[in-house]
Amino acid sequence: MPVHLTHADRRTLLQTYLNDHLAGASAGESLVRRAQGSNEGTELGAALAGLITDIKSDAAALRDVLARLDTAPARSKLLAAAVAERLGRFKLNGQLIGYSDLSRLIELEGLCGGVELKRCLWLALKEVQSVYPPLAGIDFDRLADRARAQREALEPHRLAAARVAFLPEP
């Protein structure tokens, strides 16, 4: 039996969706900062430093979307994302303590996944933009293209991390 939701119900779903993505963006920013710090002075560290700027800009764009829709950030979701990111630091990485080659790979894969989800967010918002007048004028194509470029920039580093983690040293 199909469910018939009102526009108000659908707006609530959109608000939940946006807050879920904002929580993910917050966790992603923490993750990229941690990964950047662990790879300071390397090519990867420099790439991640540039990504931090983009991620902050993307989070600001998402906060703008929330504000245009008169939606407050869900503090509980932001707190849960912060806790989840910190708990993620305790994963097994082949070492009892410290940073390992596997840590680098897992962090990069998490970042790649987060960036792809962000691209999906911008494309979904573009799809419904015409029904939500406050979203008029936001260039979701540009935001999606920036996410695609971020993902493409991360890929060589992810593959390099896989080689370092899993191939025998020469």
In a domain, 2, yes or no: no
Range of the domain at 129: 7-166
User: What pLDDT, in 10s, does the model give residues 85-103?
Assistant: 655 655 555 544 566 889 8
pTM of the predicted protein model: 0.86
In a domain, 159, yes or no: yes
User: What pLDDT, in 10s, does the model give residues 7-32?
Assistant: 788 889 999 999 999 999 988 999 99
* Inter-residue contact 117 to 17 (CB < 8 Å): no
Looking up tokens 């540009």, which residue turns up?
Answer: 142
One-letter amino acid of 141 = D
Distance CA 82, CA 3 (A): 34
- Total domain count, the chain: 1
The answer on pLDDT for 3 being more than 60 is: yes
CATH number where 16 lies: 1.20.1260
CA-wise closest residue to 95 among 26, 165, 13: 165
Give the H or E element holding residue 31. helix 7-38
